[in-house]
Structure 1
C-alpha cells in the first residue's frame, strides 16, 4: 500500500499528559463533590449523633472512606453545633457560622488516596487499551475487560499501604513521628508484606466494578429478587442521593480527563507541524 494514501499519523498524548489530565479531573471532582457529603454527614449527625467509636461512611464520588468518630473532647467537623432545616439551610449556616472552608473539611483523605488511585487507574487503563489494540486489533471485545482488571489491580496495590496508614490515623491523633514509628515497627515485626494486608478483600470489592464480567445471576433475576423483598420501589432505593452526588462526580471526572487529553493532543499535533 502506498504510504502517502494512509493519511496523517494519529497524534497521541504522552504518559505524563495522561497523568496530568486524570489528576486534574480527580482534584476538580473532589473539590466540587466534597461539600455535598460534608453537608450530608452534618445532617445525619444532628438527627442521630455519632457515638464515640461509631463508624460512618464518607463518600465524595471518587472513593468511599470509613471514618471513626473521634474521642470525647475533640471538636470534629461533624460534631459542630447547628440546627439545619435542610440541605440548602445547612450550606448557608455552615458558611455563615463556620466559614466556607468548613465545606471541605473531609478533603484531606481524598487528596491522599482517591487522587493517586484515580490517576493510576485512568492512566493504566488508557495505556493498556492502546497497547492491546495495537497487538490484537481495534475490534477485540475483551480489551476493556482485561485493561480494567489490570488497571484496578495496579491502583489497589499502590494504594493499600496508604489505606493502612489512613485507618491508623483515624483511630487516634498521631504525629508524623509517631506514624513513622508505627510503620517502622510494623515492617520490622511482620515484614513489608504486612503493609498490603487487606489487599485481597479490596480486590474482590473493586475489580468487579471496573469491568463488565459475566455474572452467574442475570440482571432480570436480581431485579425480581429485589422486588420480591422490598417491592417495586426497592429498585430505586437511594436513587436521589446518588444522582445528586455520583452523577456530577462521574461527569466532572470523565469530561475533565477527556478534555485534558484532547487539549494535549491538539498541542502535540501543532508541535508536529513545526
Structure 2
C-alpha cells in the first residue's frame, strides 16, 4: 500500500473527495464575505500615506468611519458592484488555496498520527503552520493582485500594467511582495486557530456524545477559534495590505531609504502615525469576514468528509 493510500485510508476519504469538500466550502464562504474583505482593505488602505506623491484612488468616497459607513459610501459613490470587486481573482485564489491548505493539513496531521481523543495539541499546531506556509507561498502572487484590485477600482488592463511595472523594476520575485508579513500573519493564525479549533471540537463532541463531527459543532469551534487568532495577528494583516498596495508604485520612490519596507519598520511607522488604532484598522470587518468564512469553510469541509466517509463505508471499493 502506498503512502497516499495509507493516508486516505486513515482519513476515510479519497483525495478527490477531500478536494470536493474543501472546494465547496471555499466557494460558499467567498460569496458571502467578499464585501467585508473589500471594506477591510479600504479601511486599512486609508491609514497608508501615498508614496512619493502617488495619487490615492481607494478613498474616493471620502474618509470611512467604520464598516457600515464604508459600505454605504462605497455603494453610493462607486456602486454596489464595487463591493464585489475582486470576486473573480478571489475565487481563483481562494478555492485552490483552501484546497491546498486543508488537504495538506489533514494529510500532515494524520501522517503525524493525530487522534483527537489521545494526541497532543502540538500536532495540529505544527501541521497547520506547515500547511499554511505551503499554501501561501504558492498563492501569494494571486493574493497580491487581488489586494490591489480590492484597494483601488482598477481594470484588468491597469492591473496588468502594475504587475508589469513591478516585474520590470524588481524582477519576478516582486510578485511575492508581502510574502513576509503574510506568513507572519497566517502562520501564527494557523497555529492559534487549529490549536483552539481541535480542542473546542473535541470537547463539544464529547459534551454532546458525538462520534462524528456535526455542522453546529464545527461551526461554533471554527468561529471562536477564528476570532481569537484574528485578534493576535491583525497588525501583520495591516502591514501586508500596505506592502501589497505599493505594487506598481515603486517608480514613485525617489529615495527608497525614506520609505522602509521591512515588516517591523512599517509596523513601527504605522504605530507612530496612528497608534494601536492603526495596527488594528480593519479589525472589525476582518473578524466579520473571518468568523463566518472560517466557520462555513471548515464546517462544510468537516461535514463533507463525514458524508464521504459514510458513503465509502456503505459502498466499499
Q: Which of 126, 133, 137 is the equivalent residue of 1:146?
A: 126
Distance 1:194-1:69 versus aligned 2 partners, 3 A rule:
closer
Q: What runs of 5+ residues in structure 1 fail to find an aligned partner?
A: 1-8, 54-67, 71-75, 220-233
Q: 1:107 corresponds to which residue?
A: 87
Shift in CA distance, 13/150, structure 1 to aligned 2, threshold 3 Å: same
Q: 1:134 to 1:184 in 2, by over 3 A?
A: same
Mapped contact 1:11–1:269 kept (Cα < 8 A): no
How far does residue 250 in structure 1 lie from its aligned partner after superposition? 2.4
**Structure 1 residue 42, shift from structure 2 partner:** 9.2
1:206 Cα deviation (Å)? 1.8
TM-score using structure 1 length: 0.56
Residues 1:23 and 2:23 aligned together: yes
What is the root-mean-square deviation of aligned Cα atoms in Å?
Answer: 5.3
Q: Equivalents in 2 of 1:240, 1:167: separation in Å?
A: 18
Give 2:310's match in structure 1, choosing from 260, 266, 272: 266
Distance verdict in 2 for CA 1:208–1:27, change over 3 Å: same
The superposition leaves residues 148-191 of structure 1 with CA deviations (integer Å, 9 ceiling, x where unpaired) of 1210110111012323444676776453995699399659x84x
Pick the aligned partner of 1:132 from 103, 108, 112: 112
Counterpart secondary structure, 1:210: helix
Alignment of 1:1-274 (within 5 A): 12-36=12-36, 69-70=56-57, 87=68, 103-133=83-113, 139-166=119-146, 173-175=155-157, 182=164, 186=168, 190=171, 193=173, 195-212=175-192, 244-272=288-316
Cα 1:149–1:109 shift into 2, 3 Å: same
Structure 1 residues 166 and 244: CA distance shift in structure 2, 3 A: closer
Gaps of 5+ in 2: 1-8, 196-227, 229-276
Task: Indicate if the aligned counterparts of 2:167 and 2:175 stay in contact, CA closer than 8 A.
Answer: no
Bigger proportion of residues as helix: 2
Which whole-Å CA distance do the structure 1 matches of 2:175 and 2:165 have between them?
8
Q: Distance in 2 between matches of 1:99 and 1:194?
A: 32
For residues 148 and 286 of structure 2, the distance between their equivalents in structure 1, rounded to whole angstroms, comes to 29
How many aligned residue pairs are there? Answer: 218
Residues 1:197 and 1:139: Cα distance change in structure 2 (over 3 Å): same
TM-score w.r.t. structure 2 length?
0.49
Q: Residues of 1 paired with 2:123 and 2:191: CA distance?
A: 10
